[in-house]
Structure 1
């Protein structure tokens, strides 16, 4: 997915504003297993996934708990880093070799003050990320694991081929054994 497509799927900006954004965005390639954000540290950038898949997780009682997957077109961000410039609570790991677009928070903040269209894009960006978090919270709180797994099959079937089952089970809040039972019932 191109950076123009990613920018405009968030909020369409005039061409001149899009060019200003693109001038401060760089394309980088990082290997599978790379930790993009580390809990307790401040990340200084926002990323958009051109190619690859990532997961966000935290530790609970010495166990990794996955709470989000990102793939092509998605934003990779630690909101606590971005909004408050404070250390985040999550780790974000690349599950595949990834091609990412990176923009430094400082460049983005500067552009917000210089260009009203980019500022509006940033407002929409924040609103979109908030809605995604709200949807994940509601799903986790009110849906059964089998329903959430069915949602993955319906809306993100490629995750099943691209992500280890241990991470999917963690994301669903169940053991791998329970996930196996759910999968056998669905077949």
Structure 2
């Protein structure tokens, strides 16, 4: 549980007691590449902490898959819509590699927030971080070129480039595979 705990503590430092309250609730789950963690056809009722592996989230727009998120070791994945509104999610989360996950039921995780001020603070900090990330991504798509977005991703998450298929990377960056290939080759 090393990556999971490191990620949790990076968001907000929790006491050993608070950490133990989570450890006693999570279940280890190993899933194979290609499995879907959740999709619009199913209700997913778990928060998943990625200990090992890679997951992508995508949705369809006019019949085309649009990748909008990649989850690596230490990341947390769950359908926000299900968590916040108790509705089926609009996105699909697909495993791009074999994954080891620690899972806790959504409702139990919410109970931790109600029972423990440390977890409540952690949840607030997590939400704040997600809002900043979302704002940065929005600004990048509004004001930066495809080449600039590629460069920023290469600097911020270089490990993605060796682990993700070109088509998913291009979709995430909002460009065609041809454009991404040209950028990578230095051709304008």
Normalised-by-shorter TM-score class: over 0.9
Matches within 5 A, 1:19-168: 19-39=20-40, 41-168=42-169
| Structure 1 outlier segments of 4+, above 4 Å | none
Q: Deviations over 1:18-74 (max 9, x none)?
A: 110111112211111111120254321111111111111111111111111111111
136-145 or 22-31, which deviates more = 136-145
Change (3 A) 1:135 1:40: farther
Structure 2 runs not aligned, ≥5 long: none
Match of residue 4 from structure 2 = 3
Matches within 5 A, 1:160-179: 160-179=161-180
Provide the C-alpha distance between the structure 1 equivalents of 2:39 and 2:173, rounded to a whole number of angstroms. 22
Tell me if structure 1 keeps the 8 A contact 2:55–2:70: yes
Provide the C-alpha distance between the structure 2 equivalents of 1:141 and 1:35, rounded to a whole number of angstroms. 31
- SS in structure 1 opposite 2:186? helix
RMSD between aligned alpha carbons? 1.5
Provide the C-alpha distance between the structure 1 equivalents of 2:155 and 2:8, rounded to a whole number of angstroms. 26
Change (3 A) 1:101 1:14: same
Q: Deviations over 1:121-159 (max 9, x none)?
A: 122222222222222222222211111111122121111
Q: Deviations over 1:83-105 (max 9, x none)?
A: 11111111111110011111111
Provide the C-alpha distance between the structure 1 equivalents of 2:96 and 2:134, rounded to a whole number of angstroms. 21
61-70 or 119-128, which deviates more = 119-128
Change (3 A) 1:24 1:111: same
Count residues in correspondence.
Answer: 186
Structure 1 runs not aligned, ≥5 long: none
TM-score normalised over the length of structure 1? 0.93
Provide the C-alpha distance between the structure 2 equivalents of 1:97 and 1:77, rounded to a whole number of angstroms. 18
Provide the C-alpha distance between the structure 1 equivalents of 2:28 and 2:133, rounded to a whole number of angstroms. 25
TM-score normalised over the length of structure 2? 0.92
